[in-house]
Amino acid sequence: MDEDLIAKKDVLEQAGISYGQLYRWKRKGLIPEAWFIRKATVTGQETFFPKEKILSRIAQIQSLKEEQSLDELVQVLAPEAAPEAMSWDSPATLPPIGADGRKLLWKESGYTFAELVALASGVHALRSGARPAEAKLLVDLLRTEEAVLRTPTGVTALLGEKTLEQEGFSVRLTLGVLGREPLKLDRESRVKHRTDLEKIAEQVKLALRGVA
Amino acid sequence: MERQSVSIAGSGRLAGGEYAHVRISGSGRVEGDVVAQEIRVSGAGKFHGNVKAKEIEVSGAGKFAGRVEADTLETSGSCGIEGDADVKEFRSSGAQRVGGSLRGHYVRVSGILSVARDVEADVFTSSGKFEIGGLLSADRVEVKLVGDSRAREIGGENIDIRASSGFNFGFSLTRGLRLGFGIGTLAVSEIEGDSVHIEATTADVVRGKTVHIGPGCRIGRVEYAESLDVHAEAEVKERVKQ
């Protein structure tokens, strides 16, 4: 997937931050190494970032740092700092899951962080038009992938669709795929829904914080 | 259980484990991972596993094959770490090599520091020589150049690189450089900071809010937001105000 990139100096200008802040946040792990993309330009090497990700991360840091120290922020935002041992009993109270998520639940209580991310991914699919069975497929695919969901930088889950025609019958198949970008499907399949897991994990973390 | 202290004065081997103090004044090998309050090497010590300690002091020759985590690490002899070093306060007046990255709050170099990857600290000060394969990043980078230092990139808030000519500018620094009068230099491909003051530095690109290019510098391109001064004995090919 080709993301929109933004040059470092434009990040500083648009977000109104200094080099010192940017480097400090990088050191603390608030901005993942993987977002620093070095490219050759006419004026030499320059660093670019995935535009949407970096600007929304900076906005979050700026809005949260009033209340907490950088080290606490790391716990919330850094992708590698997923809540260790937690168990949540009412997923529907979290906005990224909400009432839409009720039909995707598979147990009464005791949802782990990874399971919450799986649920939120399912809800994300539902909200963008997937059928419940398809959302369920996605949740089933993700919920056991604890390790992947804890460090979701660059990981995508998608629903692919393929139509098979045979002797006048037409069968439509949906499949769930989990992997790191760039993901590719064959030419006859199409991507029906795509989820950036890092973003979903971040939403879940923020929601957990909001409720706590 | 009280943790043991061990001391190797002749030649010896030690198994990994938890210790209060480990002292090696002869020649010692430590086989596994070690956790200790204090590790002192004044002879030759080789640690084959990962090491975690409150204080580490190397005044002889210390070799660490894995990763090192400590509150303080002081090297006045020679110390090699193959893995990453995570050290809150790091001081080296001897020769220190790190095969991975060095992370800490405070890094002070007065000897020689060579790091294969990145150095990340709140404060980095050097009056020695350093070679950094990756990014040197700190809120404050304060360098008094001695010998020829290198880094791939330097980034942070305040970056202050001073030439240490004994003549202290009474004498032309550029002439000193040309004649090779033991004046230290710095070579780096990119410097980025809010306040940048550099001397005797060669760089492809310097970016900053307020930038001062001092004597002896050779810079490809300077991009600045607020102000730029360039010393008469400096060379800047391209200047861009953002």
pLDDT at A78 over 70: no
The residue-averaged pLDDT of A8-24 equals 92
| Cross-chain Cβ contact B157/A9 below 8 Å | no
CB contact under 8 Å between B192 and A23, yes or no, is yes
Q: Report pLDDT for A114.
A: 86
Closest CA–CA distance from residue B151 to any residue of chain A (Å): 15
Percent of chain A with pLDDT over 90: 25
Q: Does A16 touch chain B (CB under 8 A)?
A: no
Under an 8 A CB cutoff, do A23 and B208 touch?
no
Q: Is B184 on the interface with A (CB under 8 A)?
A: no
Closest Cβ opposite residue A44 in set B158, B221, B242: B221
pLDDT digit string (tens) for A141-162? 998 888 888 778 888 999 999 8
Q: How many CB atoms lie within 10 A of CB B9?
A: 12
Contacting residues of B for A27, CB less than 8 Å apart: 103, 120, 137
B220 — contact with chain A (CB < 8 Å)?
Answer: yes
Q: How far apart are CA B151 and CA B218, in angstroms?
A: 15
| pLDDT for position B177 | 57
pLDDT band (50, 70, 90) for residue A83: low
**Contact call for A19 and B194, based on CB within 8 A:** yes
- Can you tell me the mean pLDDT for A70-92? 69
Q: Give the residue from chain A lying closest to B203, CA to CA.
A: A44
Nearest to A44 among B120, B157, B205 (CB): B205
- The alpha-helical segments, DSSP class H, found in chain B are 173-179
Q: Are B51 and B32 in contact (CB under 8 A)?
A: no
* Ordered structural domains, chain A, with CATH: 5-77 (1.10.1660.10), 91-211 (no CATH)
Other beta carbons within 10 angstroms of residue A191's beta carbon come to 15
Closest Cα in chain A to B139: A20
Rounded CA separation B242/B237 (Å): 16
Residues in chain A: 212
Distance of CA A3 to the CA centre of its chain: 14
CB contact under 8 A, B220 and A26: no
Give the closest residue to B74 by CA, choosing from B48, B32, B38, B45: B38
Query: In this complex, do A44 and B194 lie within 8 Å of one another by their Cβ atoms?
Result: no
Judged by CB atoms within 8 Å, which residues 145-164 of B form the interface with A? Answer: 155-158
- Strands B68-75 and B102-103 turn out to be unpaired
Structure tokens at A152: 């979701």
Please give the structure tokens belonging to residue A29.
């792990």
CA A152 to chain B, closest CA, distance in angstroms equals 23
Residue B208: closest C-alpha in chain A: A19
Distance CA B153, CA B136 (A): 6
Q: 3-state secondary structure string, A134-187? A: HHHHHHHHHCCCHHHHHCCCCEEEEEEEEEEEECCEEEEEEEEEEEECCCCCCC
Classify B3 in phi/psi space as left (phi over 0), alpha (psi -120 to 50) or beta: beta
Q: Is A80's pLDDT higher than 70?
A: no
Per-residue pLDDT of chain B (242 residues; tens, 9 = 90+): 568 888 888 888 999 899 999 999 989 999 999 999 999 999 899 999 999 999 999 999 999 999 999 999 999 999 999 999 999 999 999 999 999 999 999 999 999 999 999 999 999 999 999 999 999 999 999 999 988 999 999 999 999 999 876 444 545 555 555 555 557 899 999 999 999 999 999 999 999 999 999 999 999 999 999 999 999 999 999 999 98
Under the banding of pLDDT at 50, 70 and 90, the label for residue A34 is confident
pTM: 0.75
Using CB atoms, pick whichever of A19, A26, A44 lies closest to residue B193: A19
Binned at pLDDT 50, 70 and 90, residue A69 comes out as confident
Cα angle at A75 between A21 and A116, to 5 degrees? 130
pLDDT of residue A81: 55
Predicted local confidence at residue A188, as pLDDT: 86
Which residues in B177-189 are b (16+ Cβ under 10 Å) and which e?
A: beeeeebbbbebb
Helices (runs of H) and strands (runs of E) counted in chain A? 8, 6
pLDDT for A1 equals 44
Are A19 and B120 within 8 A, CB to CB?
no
Say which of A18, A26, A44 has its CB closest to residue B209: A18
Question: Which residues in chain A are closer than 8 Å to B220, comparing Cβ atoms?
Answer: 44
* pLDDT score, position B164: 76
